[in-house]
Structure 1
Amino acid sequence: MNIHNVLFIVTLILQYKSYCSGLCRTTNDHKNHTCSGIRFNQIVLSLSTRLELLREKIYNCQETEIKEGILSYPKLQNLTISCGTINNIHKNAFLNFNNLQELNLSNNSLSTFLPNVFGSLGYLQTLNISQNNFKELTQFTFSGLNNLKKLIISNNKLTDFHPKVFDQIRNVQKMCLDHNEIDFLPVRLFTKLRKLQHLDLSNNYIESFGEVFVLAYNLRYLNLSFNVIKDIPLRAFQTTQLEILDLSNNKLEVIYEDGLQLKTLKELYLQINQIRLFEVGGLNMDSIPLQLLNVENNRLVFLEDDFVKTAKNLQTFKAIRNPWDCDCWYKMEAIRKQFLKSVLFHDDDEPLCVVGVIKDCKIGKPNLEYYYNIYSQQQNGQN
């Protein structure tokens, strides 16, 4: 071999080492390792580092699958593989990750998992499979994840669920299913999730949900915004412990007290709907814990006196862009003298009051169209 060939080979070796070292970083304590833009077999770590590593993050890895044995770190607790191109995970790919607590597979091209692919991850607490191509979840998708507490499936193409898909993850406390294509929720979908506290179903195509949340006893946060929900079923949340409920940006027209869990609710978001009646009067309690109510951009003309009297803890009330009857509005303010404008309107907007023809704020449903017509004329005049 002549001197030119030797120099060429040495140059390639130096370029390769520079390439790898430039795209991979290890912290001084050998606990964290991050790579970007290289193949799995180009990740070079010393034996001591492999034995001490706790967190591995791999981005843009130019791989299409995760094979068995390709990565092996006995103490690893946090693994991120976010490459955009991975569409297949072998059955025993995670066999050597017995201590893994967080697995992030977001931003890939995954659409399905082989049965029991997570079978060796008995200690896993967080699984993130957002930004993939999942359209359905089969019964055994999450088998083996008995200690899972957080599941993120946001930004996929989900439309179908097996009714028992979540039965294997009974300890889950937070679940994100937002930004999918869900239009139907099986009645028993969350039945086994007695520890579920946080559920995000926003930005889907859900029209109704029936008794889906009846057994969600510990549910405290529920986001159903940006769907196409037309009504709230009676006693839909009666057994929950809801503190925050977001139903904004839907197609709701009437709110009944039997449709809400007002005994625990602290924040209620109803803005940008078509609500014309807010019938939650006649409550059998001295006061409700509600602190924030947003009903902006609806079709409300009045609120019942009983609600105003019992919402003693209300601190933030956002109500602009409704065709309020002026007499009703001023009466409501009189009942609740602490409803100062500095509390009611944080953006200095005033309610657009429609001058009514009915005194004492006793408005029947047939009278609503009168207000809508005037409100429409006023809006058109402003434009």
Structure 2
Amino acid sequence: RNISTFEELPGLFSMLNITRLTLSHNKIKSVPPGLANLTNLEILNLANNHLEELPLSLSSMPKLRILNLSFNRLYGLPRGFGAFPILEVLDLTYNNLNEKNLPGNFFMIETLRALYMGDNDFEYIPADIKNLKNLQILVLRENDLIELPKEIGELTRLRELHIQGNRLTILPPEFGNLDMAGHKSVFKLEGNEWVTPIADQLKLGISHLLDYLKSETYRM
């Protein structure tokens, strides 16, 4: 609808009973703090807009479970952004984010089950990611990642890991602890610059790679 401001949606903030709001594929540049007054909102989709920043108030929304901010122009997230009480899915795909512009408490959203951060500008992922104990899906594809923290190996519930299209050459041995060999698991690694031993194991299959990562040979 080519909406560019929330002023074009009169009466929205008085609709206190709505649980789902989709404003994707518009031209919205900013989100007013008052959106957080919609305290029954469970799903908020702001994908494919022109957002460059967000209000801190979003992270205080008591029932928000799914937040889609993909395909925007975010260069950072507000301080304290990680305070969401029950957020389960956060999609930040295709923005301008990197490890330097994440707020300090970003990895404190313990209820998070799926985190999509593909197509951004990350070179590193902070070790604090280990706090996301309930994470099942982690998407880091198409960034500038040079290495990954060994702490990802502590995410025992992880069933999908997408790290394709980065600049990775090795993986931490702790990744061998992940349950990624099952038929329901997804582990995408193509498009990296793997050292020869890892590349050779990948040709044999994911289970061979995971066994190799756990081996004394690899640790040495």
**Match in the other structure for 1:274:** 121
Match of 1:246 among 91, 99, 103: 91
CA contact (8 A) 2:149 2:172 kept: no
Gaps of 5+ in 1: 1-155, 356-383
**Is 2:184 aligned against 1:340?**
no
**Is 2:26 aligned against 1:180?**
yes
Percent identity, please: 24
> Counting helix residues as a fraction of each chain, which structure ranks higher?
2
CA contact (8 A) 1:208 1:230 kept: yes
Query: Amino acid of the residue matched to residue 22 of structure 2?
Result: C
Q: Secondary structure at the match of 2:153?
A: helix
Task: Please show how residues 262-301 of structure 1 align to structure 2 within 5 Å.
Answer: 262-281=109-128, 288-301=133-146
**Match in the other structure for 1:208:** 53
Give me the whole-angstrom Cα distance separating, in 2, the residues matched to 1:337 and 1:207.
Answer: 35
1:260 Cα deviation from its structure 2 partner: 4.2
- Per-residue CA shift, 1:266-309, capped at 9, x if unaligned? 011111111112114275x6x61000011110111222223431
CA contact (8 A) 1:262 1:290 kept: no
CA contact (8 A) 1:204 1:227 kept: yes
> Counting strand residues as a fraction of each chain, which structure ranks higher?
1
Seen in structure 2, the aligned counterparts of structure 1 residues 262 and 268 have a Cα distance that, compared at 3 Å, is: same
RMSD: 2.5
TM-score (normalizing by structure 2): 0.76
TM-score (normalizing by structure 1): 0.46
1:251 Cα deviation from its structure 2 partner: 1.1
Q: Secondary structure at the match of 1:245?
A: strand
Query: Amino acid of the residue matched to residue 331 of structure 1?
Result: P
**Is 2:153 aligned against 1:312?**
no
Gaps of 5+ in 2: 196-220
Give me the whole-angstrom Cα distance separating, in 2, the residues matched to 1:316 and 1:282.
Answer: 15
- Per-residue CA shift, 1:12-39, capped at 9, x if unaligned? xxxxxxxxxxxxxxxxxxxxxxxxxxxx
Q: Secondary structure at the match of 1:345?
A: strand
Give me the whole-angstrom Cα distance separating, in 2, the residues matched to 1:352 and 1:332.
Answer: 19
Give me the whole-angstrom Cα distance separating, in 2, the residues matched to 1:301 and 1:344.
Answer: 21
- Per-residue CA shift, 1:127-173, capped at 9, x if unaligned? xxxxxxxxxxxxxxxxxxxxxxxxxxxxx111122498433111110
**Is 2:197 aligned against 1:353?**
no
**Is 2:44 aligned against 1:199?**
yes
Give me the whole-angstrom Cα distance separating, in 1, the residues matched to 2:32 and 2:109.
Answer: 25
1:240 Cα deviation from its structure 2 partner: 3.4
1:337 Cα deviation from its structure 2 partner: 4.8
Structure with the larger RCO, 1 or 2 (CA within 8 Å, 6+ apart): 2
Task: Please show how residues 154-173 of structure 1 align to structure 2 within 5 Å.
Answer: 156-162=1-7, 165-173=11-19
1:193 Cα deviation from its structure 2 partner: 0.8
Match of 2:64 among 211, 214, 219: 219
1:197 Cα deviation from its structure 2 partner: 0.1
Q: Which has the higher Rg, Structure 1 or Structure 2?
A: 1
